[in-house]
Amino acid sequence: MFQRVLVPVDPADPDEIAASYGIRLADQFGAEVRILSVIDRAQQRDQLRTDFEETVRESITDILAIADHYSVPIAVDVHKGEAAEEIINATDSTDLVVMGTAARDGLEGLVVGSVAESVVEESSVPVMTIPVGAKRPAETWTPT
């Protein structure tokens, strides 16, 4: 059913829970995972190092360990640009998007963040959103 699962990850705040759902689904379907991190203009200005991919890999060490534990093939891509647009463009070569949501400032409760909302509205493939504070998938191995 799913051969390629896209898991967008914010390198400044990687959502290990959402990534765990993507990895476990990929494991169940024999799919590969593509981690996509988008460096926006503000992050580019703040970034002192020029090797964004190395920075992303450092921030997602636990996510990579989970994928390795389940022997799920994983690729890491780093794009520069606007997050929602880059994620939507990446759906051309994927079957499913699994991503975390973010609470909007000033609102009580959990509300889908603007990036996740845009992806859900504009994606041509199914999008599974994992709310802030979600429980880890049952029986998921965690790095120690």
Domains of the chain, CATH where assigned: 4-130 (3.40.50.620)
pLDDT at 41: 65
Highest mean pLDDT among 34-38, 99-103, 134-138: 34-38
What pTM was computed for the model? 0.85
Which pLDDT score is estimated for 72?
96
Report pLDDT for 13. Answer: 78
For residue 106, what pLDDT is reported?
46
Question: pLDDT of 61-116, one tens digit each?
Answer: 999 999 999 999 999 998 888 999 999 999 999 999 999 987 545 444 344 568 89
Q: Is the pLDDT of residue 19 over 80?
A: yes
CA distance 104 to 112: 7
pLDDT of residue 107: 46
